[in-house]
Amino acid sequence: MPIPTAHIACKKEDFAKTVLMPGDPLRSKFIAENYLDDAVLVNDIRGVQGYTGYYKGKRVSVMASGMGQPSIGIYSYELFNFYDVSSIIRVGSCGSFQADLKPCDIVVAMGACTNGSFADQYNLHGHFAPIADFGLVRRAVEECEKAGVNYRVGNVFSSDIFYNDSFSDLAWSKLGVLGVEMEAAALYCNAARAGKKALCICSVSDSFIDPSQNMSADARRTAFTKMMEIALEVAEA
């Protein structure tokens, strides 16, 4: 596919080697405006804003992925395969499946279970286990330790369904899955297929154990600054 692609309209060199990917375009804008020096808007197709700038002298990009595996599947595929991006760090939110994970705690997704069929395209005789790049996981843990935040490392559940009529997602908690989000599995599959690196870091935004803790949409956009800072520190130049 020629550049620009159907979903990203800029030159290959407009993106840094590492791209942070929040789901929400406004969170992408927030990161660019509050953390990046000399940030330039490099993509705004379909309102999916992408910026490139500098964090502590390190060139970094940030672009929204939209919601769900099909959406991040498109953007991460194009970034990995057409824009020469080396690593993508998803910075998102998740719903907690565990009682000891509270709002604004951080989940480092070492693996991603899913009820989706994204990996079916590879025609495997079995089930692929999507995992993060270990080097990125290790650096994320080091940065969580430095920041003194409450964090957990483990599996997340990438669901293709937000409004689940059977409401059976909590069954995953019995296997130690930390929480539910909607993008990591597809991101990890694309990274594996492209021979690139990926990591999903989530801030807990709500709890399946205690819904009274759930955060508002506005709070989710701006309250997850520790997660953003950790991802920026982890980003490779």
Task: Look at residues 76, 88, 109 and name the one whose alpha carbon lies nearest to residue 181.
Answer: 109
CA distance 91 to 200: 6
Per-residue confidence at 167, pLDDT binned at 50, 70, 90?
A: low
Q: Are 107 and 202 in contact (CB under 8 A)?
A: yes
User: Percent of the chain at pLDDT above 70?
Assistant: 95
Q: Are 175 and 61 in contact (CB under 8 A)?
A: no
Locate all alpha helices (DSSP H) within the chain, ordered by sequence.
25-35, 69-82, 134-147, 184-194, 217-222, 225-234
Per-residue confidence at 208, pLDDT binned at 50, 70, 90?
A: confident
The DSSP output letter for 99 is T
116 three-class SS: coil
pLDDT tens sequence across 19-60: 999 999 999 999 999 999 999 999 998 889 999 999 999 999
CA distance 91 to 231: 7
Give the pLDDT of residue 222.
Answer: 62
CA distance 197 to 93: 20
Per-residue confidence at 214, pLDDT binned at 50, 70, 90?
A: confident
Task: Look at residues 236, 237, 204, 223 and name the one whose alpha carbon lies nearest to residue 34.
Answer: 223
- Give the CA angle between residues 119, 71, 157 to the nearest 5°: 55
Of the listed 165, 206, 210, 218, which one is catalytic?
A: 206
Integer angstrom CA distances of residue 77 from 72, 126, 148, 191: 8, 23, 34, 8
Q: Which domains does the chain have, with CATH numbers?
A: 12-234 (3.40.50.1580)
Q: Examine the pLDDT at 221 and tell me if it is beyond 90.
A: no
Per-residue confidence at 237, pLDDT binned at 50, 70, 90?
A: confident
CA distance 50 to 14: 10
Instruction: Indicate if 206 belongs to the active site.
Output: yes
CA distance 32 to 51: 6
The average confidence (pLDDT) of the chain is 93
Q: How deeply is 170 buried, as exposed, middle or buried, from its count of CB atoms within 10 A (0-12, 13-18, 19+)?
A: middle
Integer angstrom CA distances of residue 49 from 20, 99, 124, 151: 12, 35, 35, 29
pLDDT tens sequence across 96-153: 999 999 999 999 999 999 999 999 999 999 999 999 999 999 999 999 999 999 999 9
